[in-house]
Amino acid sequence: MKLEILCYPDARLNKIAQPVLQVDERIAQLADDMLETMYDANGVGLAAIQVNVQERVIVVDVSQTRDEPLVLINPQIVEHSNTLILHEEGCLSVPDIYDDVERWDWVAVEALDKQGKSFRVEADGLLAVCLQHEIDHLDGHVFVEYLSTLKRNRIRTKLLKRAREQGKQR
């Protein structure tokens, strides 16, 4: 089932997600619905907080063929490089806005899969950036918070204006 994606500056995007206490059918279904929503929106990652679920679940697929989904429950960055890279990011909650954000170029993330089994992902490139971006969402952060106050305010104004205009069209 496709879910509604919250749009910045919705205050619910700044909530901190709670750990998943039990990986069960409800969480597996949430992950499936999040993947469907992410693919439908042409995204490469989605955090549960973006669909107004305050639990620590993210889905990611950076493959060209869009057939390598990763589901991470209670993900934690356990190691990272000391090297930072600048990478252009976008976000399904900040539609049509892209800007450079500084991230570690390599991360190791530990999480649970849909069956509740522990696993580790070591990633660089786009996958590393995406994992950091989505884990930020779980901690109540949107990528625009890394930008200057001026840029952030312009984005906020633009998206609020767009929301008002779309509201009038309905």
Q: Report the binding-site residues.
A: 91, 133, 137
Length of the chain: 170
How far apart CA 146 and CA 131 sit, in angstroms, is: 16
Q: Binding-site residues for Fe cation, please?
A: 91, 133, 137
Which of the residues 4, 79, 88, 134 is marked catalytic?
134
Owner of token pair 């490469």: 44
Q: SS3 helix, strand, coil % of the chain, rounded to 5?
A: 35, 30, 30
Q: Are 70 and 60 in contact (CB under 8 A)?
A: yes
- Does residue 134 carry a catalytic annotation? yes
- The C-alpha atoms of residue 4 and residue 13 are separated, in whole angstroms, by 13
Catalytic residues: 134
